[in-house]
């Protein structure tokens, strides 16, 4: 997942944008919740 890969080198702004996009595209409530949790956790 792009967002996860961007978090590793400290590219937090880009990771946040990738998580936002992933959240907006998913229709699965469980996947959305997991993505939102990951987005909220510190990198």
Domain locations in the chain as residue ranges: 2-40
pLDDT of residue 43: 61
pTM, two decimal places: 0.80
pLDDT of residue 41: 85
Q: What angle do CA 1, 25, 20 make, to 5 degrees?
A: 65
Question: What is the distance, to the nearest Å, from the Cα of residue 33 to the centroid of all Cα atoms in its chain?
Answer: 10
pLDDT of residue 11: 87
Q: What is the pLDDT of residues 2-40, one digit of tens each?
A: 888 887 787 888 889 999 999 999 999 999 999 999 999
């Amino acid at each position: 997942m792009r967002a996860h890969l961007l978090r590793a080198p400290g590219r937090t702004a880009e990771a946040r944008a990738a998580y936002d996009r992933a959240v907006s595209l998913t229709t699965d409530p469980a996947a959305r919740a997991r993505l939102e949790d990951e987005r909220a956790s510190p990198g």
